[in-house]
Structure 1
Amino acid sequence: MDALSTTDRTGTLAAEHLADLEARPLALNQASAADLSMIPGLSLRNAHRIVRHRAENGPFGALGALQTVEGIGPTTVHAVRPFLRLEAPTAPSVFPTFAAITSNLSVQLTQRVTRRLDLGRGFHGNQFLGPPGRLTTRLQLAHERRLQLALTLDKDPGEPIRWNPETQTYGFDHVTGSLTLRDLGRLETLVLGDFTAQFGRGVTLWQGLRFGKGRDPIAPPQAHGRGLRSYRSASETSFFRGAAATLGLPGALSLTAFVSRRHRDASIDSSFTGVDGPFPVRTVSGDGRHRTPSELARKGTFGETTSGGALEYRRSGLRLGVTGYHARFSRALRPGDRPYRQFRVTGHETSMIGAHGTAFLGDYTLFGEIARAPRGSYGGLLGGALNGEYADAVLLGRRYPPDFASFYGSAFGGGVQTQNETGVYTGLQLRVAPAWTLGAYFDQYRAPWLQFSIPRPSTGWEARLVLEHEPRPWLSSYLQVRVQEDDEGTEYQRGSRLLEGLHRKRRHSARWHTEYAFSDAFTVRTRLELSLHTSPEARSRGFFLAQGVRWTPTPVLTVDARTAIFDTEGFAARIYAYEHDLRYSFSAPVFFDRGRRSYLLVQYEPHPSLTLEAKYGVTSYENRSTIGSGLNQVEGSRRRALRLQVHWTL
């Protein structure tokens, strides 16, 4: 991964999700509670309150009528308004005619071209097989919510454009598409093509977008699965390919079934001689890069055939469900004999079954999920939340044993995998005054088994405190303090021997961010962040200061710019800072060493259906003669990038 300008997969999925919501807001009088809960600023509890109020009192006549729902005030309505629209309910059993579809068909086409202007060694030495630009094409056709057709084509920098069905390359390196039908009588959802499946709290089955710990201490631990959704991202991991459907049954029941077959990238262990048939796989890759012959050799070498489903009971105050899947592999998984890999999924197949539930009891919510892994171990989480007038709180306990190998799970926790972790999370948000909000969480966790580069069982904790102040609609700021302490692998000298062990590392960071809107046309943003990393071996500090402006001289033109200076004592004191990007994109560069970062983002709308975007960014270092490493290494102290995008809506 490029340490200078990383594009986090979760952040990219979030950016795509928000862009889709803005482009096609949810129908307030039809959206489910799971869909509504994905709107920023709207909790699952309040989403269920909206659905219950709609069922008991009829459809909403205006977006402002949301204030009549218990627990929802003007601030929440203002935050969710851009993602909602009013639409009269339609009879779910009537499929629209072809003429109705064509007369009310929404078409969106997005073409993005990005290119780094300072190229790495892989391009200069012709080791990369393709040109340096990245191309992304997105086509989406939709008739309201009921019919959606999506196609995404993507080629990473260095990947060739070629037609080679043997390596599943059809022009672009990554092709994903789907046809989705909704609300056809008892058929709630039907997806043909690429899709994600999210049920319960993610212990058993969760693919696609999930928010981790952040400034909001309440919503992430309570995230609930949205069921089946079409997959339209340029990210090449975490989705199924096949067919899936959800049927509504009598008695508030719904039944979901899916089948998937897709090929993923994997590293083959050709030295393994203990199994008949194809060579086994050591690791399944997720970066999706196919720039060199060795990377192309890994493409599509690991076949997965997965079938599964869920049975759910849904009432306004209670949700219960059972989820399960079974997956077979074209090659055996042999993760190797290193101790930290001991409990990973092995062999030609895996499966899991679990049960989840959510109960709404006035201002309180109880939720949980438990699942059984193939080795017979049980893992899960259990939590409770309070949604009060002046305070929100959540308490969540989780236990994922070392041998709890959840192949498709992505539950809330501190690690990447839903495995080898036990922890307790506490979150609190207080509305201390009309313009003041105080949020905090404390998460303590333990890994009872070894991890990569950590040769012993380890412990850690993380705390975050955020004070937000919005005295006027045109002025807002927040102060954030974060502390994280973990065990870290190290080596100790004992005579003539080196022994593996642990020591504690601690990372502190403090951030102040403010936004001031001089007018509807001009806004300034300032951010100051300090970091401190300490361990028995070293202490390093970091500094980051950024000044940004947003200028809209005319309704059709918006200019967003920022310049930042940073000075850190090495990578350990690194600082991440989100920056505005093209639609459907997410950018959070990581800053270390000493230098300057600037970017200019221009958005022009010559016509209501046409948006043109361009972004130029440059990062310069004062104390480096090369940037990056390996085939990505760039000679010099500067890295520049240009990003162009056209978005057309019919």
Structure 2
Amino acid sequence: MRSFLLLSGLFCSLLSFAQTDTLPVFPETPPLLEDVLQDAEEEVDFDFDTYYEPLEALREHPLDLNRADREQLQEIRLLNDLQIEAFLEYRATAGPLLALYELQVIPGFDLPTIRRLLPYVSLRSSLDDFHVPLPRMLSAGKNELYLRWSRTLESSRGFLLAGDTSVSGRFLGDPNKWYTRFKHSYENRLSYGFTAEKDAGEEFFRGSNPQGFDFYSAHLFARNLSRTVKAVALGDFTASFGQGLILYSGFGYGKSAATMEVKRSGRVLRPFTSVNEASFYRGAAATLAFGPLEATVLGSYRRRDGNVVVSTDTTETQDLPAITLSSILNSGLHRTPAEIADEGAFHQLTFGGCLRYSSDRFAFGLNGVLDRLDQPISRTPQPYNRFYFNGNQLWNGSLDYTYRLKNLLFFGETAVDPNGRLATLNGLLAGLDRKVDVSLLQRWYSHEFQSLNGFPFAETNGVNNEAGVYLGAEIRPASRWRLNAYYDLYRHPWLRFRTDAPSRGRDWLVRLTYYQKRKLEVYLQVRRESKEQNATDYFGPLDRLVAHQTLQARL
């Protein structure tokens, strides 16, 4: 990045009880996260503080592997789903672990995985913590304050035009970027706090932001209050149902060198402490457990950004101009007069629910989401957006499912919209032997399917107009070598933006990694992608598609 961090962060532990005051020390970047960020096609403004919070908490209170459930193992993000299933199968068969060195005999647990895992796990036994009263969790624990300021040395065009009031693309604010966050946490069971951020170019304590920062967020989140109350969220939170066809917010893996990370997993509800101004919900939510059944309900009401269209046409019964939205905006940037005009253009009311049954081998969930907008969406008609959602109300329903059979893990989700259009995603994770793991994923999203909150595995954003098959593998031929590879073949049955005909593409990656314990890790990676788009140098009466190819090599 061209920006440098003048003050990379001030990390303080305040008023800590029954703990030693220490500065948070982030662990090495997990390879899964590194792979995703490196393979992103666009620069990612990623909040590392939020990503590392579960690991930082586990440094002080390691996870007991003899009591950990599937969700707790998924939350640390250091194990893939096959490794988690292999561990649970081993523990159920052999009984509680007697030493951490037993991890070496579990299929899929190589030395780098075990080394990354050891700082955050233990074999200690303790009683359930349900008896800890809520007032104690609210007062005891750890308090953290994060402050960050950064500024780009090179001035962008928006700042150079700041003095010209006739230019709509000028930035009204200064180049400074400010970020602050306070959080109180009691282990991984309770947290509350607030976050505030101002992006470069946004006004600060003046103009469109007289209240100071451009974005504010606050949350109160509690987990495992009793055997029935599994989670309660107030304020800002994230929610994820199934494989993300109808609702998914937060961080999700896509195609990367982490070739086995194709299944969406983790807790349904999480506290929101990031600065992504679109990927969260604001309201209340709860998860209740009744034996093998879990029920989650959520309600959210929040302001959203959108392109506003004002119609001057009036009728005898309507003298006021009609206001509609041509699109929903997710950037969260409010620097120019045009961006400020689109800020908070409408309110989105969201209700959702999930009823889930889980057993050792099988799990399925019934999911539903209803969205209502106080301003209707009315897009400018174009051939590519003919089947996009227009209106002010949309609902989706889905069924997600998981089946475990020895070293095989089947998973998927099928969703429907109000028009009866379908979207489905189905996959398989297989451990063929101790040295070979394979992932297979098939998806088919109708070009007429509509969803406002979906974020599944896909080549493009959204949940429509795509069909494809993904095949991935991880091979460990020797103790210090690992080979990751995938091949993805996909097509788009309908037109897309800047692609004026049905199109197709393919994408493959190969990475060979060599490592020595605590000394060296080096890899060679090659990735190639070919996708059809409009030809940029063709001036005929009809646009012609050509294959746009990219080849990347990394050492």
Distance 2:200 2:181 in 1: 17
Q: Say whether 1:244 aligns with 2:285.
A: yes
Which residue of 50, 75, 80 corresponds with 2:112? 75
Offset of 1:39 from its aligned partner? 3.6
Tell me: CA distance 1:391–1:375, structure 2 relative to 1, closer, same or farther (3 Å): same
Q: Deviations over 1:3-38 (max 9, x none)?
A: 999997995447344421332127523654234224
Corresponding residue for 1:206?
248
Corresponding residue for 1:22?
55
Q: Say whether 1:482 aligns with 2:527.
A: yes
Answer whether contact 2:110 2:479 (CA < 8 A) is retained.
Answer: no
Of stretches 92-101 and 108-117 in structure 1, the one that deviates more from structure 2 is 92-101
Offset of 1:96 from its aligned partner? 2.4
Distance 1:150 1:54 in 2: 37
Corresponding residue for 1:354?
398
Tell me: CA distance 1:69–1:479, structure 2 relative to 1, closer, same or farther (3 Å): closer
Distance 1:357 1:254 in 2: 14
Corresponding residue for 2:276?
235
Tell me: CA distance 1:57–1:431, structure 2 relative to 1, closer, same or farther (3 Å): closer
Corresponding residue for 2:482?
437
Corresponding residue for 2:171?
128
Distance 1:62 1:141 in 2: 33
Paired amino acid for 2:308: I
TM-score computed with the length of structure 1 as normaliser:
0.72
In structure 2, list runs of 5 or more residues that go unmatched.
5-36, 164-169
- SS for the counterpart of 1:19 is helix
Corresponding residue for 1:460?
505
Tell me: CA distance 1:169–1:490, structure 2 relative to 1, closer, same or farther (3 Å): farther
Corresponding residue for 2:468?
423
Answer whether contact 1:343 1:402 (CA < 8 A) is retained.
Answer: yes
Offset of 1:264 from its aligned partner? 0.8
Identify, as 1 or 2, the structure richer in strand. 1
Paired amino acid for 2:507: E
Answer whether contact 1:290 1:296 (CA < 8 A) is retained.
Answer: yes
Tell me: CA distance 1:128–1:271, structure 2 relative to 1, closer, same or farther (3 Å): same
Corresponding residue for 2:16?
none
Offset of 1:118 from its aligned partner? 2.8
Q: Deviations over 1:156-197 (max 9, x none)?
A: 012112379xx7874211111110011111100000011111
Distance 1:140 1:398 in 2: 39
Q: Say whether 1:105 aligns with 2:146.
A: no
Corresponding residue for 1:259?
299
Corresponding residue for 1:289?
333
Corresponding residue for 1:321?
365
Q: Say whether 1:148 aligns with 2:191.
A: yes
Paired amino acid for 1:21: P
Distance 1:477 1:135 in 2: 36
TM-score computed with the length of structure 2 as normaliser:
0.84
Which residue of 153, 156, 159 corresponds with 1:117? 153
Answer whether contact 1:40 1:79 (CA < 8 A) is retained.
Answer: no
Distance 1:289 1:345 in 2: 24
Distance 2:240 2:253 in 1: 13
- SS for the counterpart of 2:53 is helix
Answer whether contact 1:463 1:484 (CA < 8 A) is retained.
Answer: yes
Offset of 1:143 from its aligned partner? 1.1
Tell me: CA distance 1:303–1:100, structure 2 relative to 1, closer, same or farther (3 Å): closer
Q: Deviations over 1:43-87 (max 9, x none)?
A: 123224445666787776765454465543543221223444666
Answer whether contact 1:14 1:209 (CA < 8 A) is retained.
Answer: no
Tell me: CA distance 1:343–1:448, structure 2 relative to 1, closer, same or farther (3 Å): same
Distance 2:277 2:549 in 1: 34
Paired amino acid for 1:130: G
Identity, % of aligned pairs? 30
Paired amino acid for 1:234: V
Tell me: CA distance 1:15–1:297, structure 2 relative to 1, closer, same or farther (3 Å): same
Corresponding residue for 1:196?
238
Corresponding residue for 1:139?
182
Distance 1:469 1:34 in 2: 31
Q: Deviations over 1:393-413 (max 9, x none)?
A: 011110001111121111111
- SS for the counterpart of 1:134 is strand
Within-5 A mapping of 1:302-451: 302-387=346-431, 388-451=433-496
Distance 2:452 2:488 in 1: 24
Answer whether contact 2:259 2:485 (CA < 8 A) is retained.
Answer: yes
Aligned Cα root-mean-square deviation (Å): 2.9
Answer whether contact 1:400 1:421 (CA < 8 A) is retained.
Answer: yes
In structure 1, list runs of 5 or more residues that go unmatched.
513-650
Distance 2:389 2:94 in 1: 50
Q: Deviations over 1:430-468 (max 9, x none)?
A: 111121111111000000011110000000000111111
